[in-house]
Structure 1
């Protein structure tokens, strides 16, 4: 009993310690979740979790409860223990008989009553703290409070001091000194990037970032401006110096300019602004064909996997499905929005989503078409970037809408009404098989025989297109089994009596037999006729046909399939007849498609001819149309070209700059700035020098040469224009060239 009692106390101690460790974890999770929602930095969140957990562990001390503490706690909260729980910790040899009896009784009571008390803990309070921290963090993220309240988390300090130069180089006054400069970049909250403080004035940030400049001088100045792309923006004076705030939208250049109390103006160098665009989500579908078709009797499912990636996180991804029903003017469209089978959380940068589309669940029927594409949205605020994939197609083949038709190859319309009966026969046969259990044996055989008769009528009507005038082919095999001529006549008479179409057909084998040529005479006539091989014999059913040889063979195969289909219907086995009916229908459809004739549409429709002007021979009002136009490409960078030429004159003649020159250089600077947006580092120095020569009065020749070289490299390369040059040669020149080649 000592071992059993000790195990009870040890189990209670472990449970107590576990509750305390869980309390520590909940206290630490709250601040960690709050930090993650505020800064979207997993490293900061994990560091906060570890730091807070260490602090809470020091105060809570989860390892503190031991067996003596557990024994004392049980004695205080459990009456049946009678303050004798400590006996369970002592060995049996050290106890008296009375103590052993008490030890046994207390162990038995603890087994039954120990579950009624719980170790002390504050889990509910820890859960409330964690939930409150998570709610505060989520509200800050949801309503973008950090756009106004977040403080810089990363500081860069670089010795990139703004250097101001006086616009008038002859100024001798004391120049105010710059004490401090600071650029703060607050990235949009959805990017999850912390704000940055730096002394470097070159800017490269995400579109929509908030930029804040702050500069201070050692003495009072009159005003400070920021010049950007031809615009001048005043900076506001505050307790912290001159500040300005702007939202980053476009790339460009900017510089600072200020005027001291003596009306002396100073300007700084140019600094580049480069906007990093938030890319659209990238959607890739690799395991799906562009077009998929299904037969109506197979499983119609489309399964695929989609990969969606984004630079700052994905907000939503779904499928847009459009179902079209009908054809022609009666077509109807239905659009639906489907979600993926795989679940994902908002803000993930890389997703792998799967989807299984069941066309039957989309209420699609044969002939319906399905169009779908994937659309994804990122976290950009307020207008997210939307990306969509290419469109994929799926169609259920429609066999009902296929009709037999011959176009362009026949002069008259010989299409009987029976040509659409094969599909109806298939539908009726399938219905008969389905209703077999509901019908009596007599009704089932009657209907199967009726379908066999319909199949026979359809085969006879198709036989007319082969030139057949009576049953032949597989049907004649029945008659060939009886060699006697008398039996043939008896069977033929009996068949004629039972044939419902006998009154409507012309039987060349029996009617008007006295006008027929004997068989022997026919053979002699064929043998003596020299043109027999070159004539189209309509008396022979194998050659009498309205189709080409390829269509004839397919139609013959269709008739053979119809014969087999009729045979099994007559034998009361419609399930065996179905495959032959499908084969016959397929051959008929192929004949329809191969017999189509496509005519190209003529694009020009001439106007109607006026009858009063026709055949008069008057052409006075007829004139030719002639249009003459010179195509010239727009001139690129005209002011840069003029500036290069003007700088060459200034370098050669060493003349003084005029106001017209400064205006020309300013216009050339605007052209160069537009080109430099794509590559700021390449043309920044040239822009700075060009701005310098527009503001200074005395310019060294070396700076003019440097600016001219930079502008020359900024001009695009001339495209080669090959042309044939006419060279005048004479007899004397040719003799001279020959002599030079000889003595070379």
Structure 2
């Protein structure tokens, strides 16, 4: 029999919708409950089982701290990972057809009615047979019970969880000391208290070797910086140097074994420190000194030192603030003591800025009339960004009543917040603000205080004309066309006056004699005095050439561009050769004046800059010679030494100073101890090496090298001779870089000073 499946009309209802969905929803709910119940039982079982296995593994084979630091995350990751996986399955269940298959598999009474209804519900045609199938399927689906479709199967996980909890309880009740130690080792992974774990293993395992006398375990330290630093405490462990600011509170602690009588502590080269008990630990509190070198710890049992540990200390310097005066960026020379001056400075410090201000000095006059006044200015606005501060102040120079020749020295001052070894104070570079005298206008380098009404008599220098033009360029967008023409014309007139001075120099140099007067005023060379006044040695007006003759001579000097003119010549006129630069300067000033007359100050600036460069080059080319013969005989220092006369000087007894520290004895001891590692008792080697670490710190040796020696002492005490020898070699390399040869062995003497003496003279005692 074959059945042709046709699509029902769009208006026909979907059969079996409510019974099928009800059954599939029940199967889905039963499956979700089963998944959640299994997660709640299997996850703790995984956690407990993994934790018990790790604890027993550590008991049989003691693990290093780095391994415990990593492996302790396995139990929670297993448990939480299984829970997360189960929640993911519940939130994203399989498709409904999978639940239909599950129901058909677990409920035989359905006889594939649910799967058939699910797959062909939309394709069944309407008819008597279809209605009969639908009625039978609905009856069977309504009688089906989905509660047993997805059983939880919790028997095995519950047994594993129960056995694990029972083992943990028995272990904690029977061996509470071992359980507590195991909890500490896994909750706070560290190589500390290794000797305690050895004692626990010796008490727990029947075949374990008896625990030796406990030594210093790994030290744990906490550094509380001073309050001004504004940073939190730091914690660490190990034998590395402890770095801290002076004034920091350092706390050292470690386990205090029951077999010890006490712990002694002292500052290297200083006083003893009190040691207190806190539970099962010893604790030392020490305030970091600026010259601290290290701490020496000794464990005492039975009236003798059984272990020694040296902790190098490194005092971190608190550097003073870094102060920069950013505005003004250079020294200023003002035309007048007016205007508004902006001062801006920045300061930075490792631990913050405490105070920030400006210091000024106002000086006037010279010689016996010299006077000065100084004081401080507070910034009008200070912005702070972390450990950096920026201050700004605008000064009205008119309130300072500056006169020509007055000088203001300004610098920024910053102070940090160090209240232990400070405070540290720094100053910025000093900026000088000077008001030019009437004959120093050529040195003005800023338009601050530049007078609005230009002086009529003195000729302005090219530098001042540049400043005026630059200010006009900045203000041009805000000026009307008439104001721009007026202001630009005023600057053009000043440029023309200076060009006339240059033209006068061209005329003087083009005279028949070609000799300049000794008292001639070089106004074009950046001097702003009155215009030239020729002396009686000047040239008469009638002898001066006309403008056409002057231009003709200039053309002859500069050339007309022919090949003959640029070829090598020996007989060129001396005066015209000198005038070539002056004529070029004259032409540049003329071009500048022309652009200014056209109200184009921006186009005039390139010619002004080039003219200023030419003037500066001429100034550098000047030579000054002495008017008479000057001779200073050289002094033979070697010959003259000791020839002077000393009056009323009596000889004094020369005291013997302290000998310079030498690392020779220490290197020799390091070589001797390293050679004996493995052949002497471990404890004896450890005590000798720790004594060398304290000796190195007392002698001012490198802290890192002393830390390596201290670590070598711990390795030697644990019986690891190879590692101790390697650490001693690294320490020796830091103490004497590049010295691969062994140090000369010292003579056997109890006095180190005598041993060093015999070593230096090369003799044995």
TM-score, normalised to structure 2, is 0.39
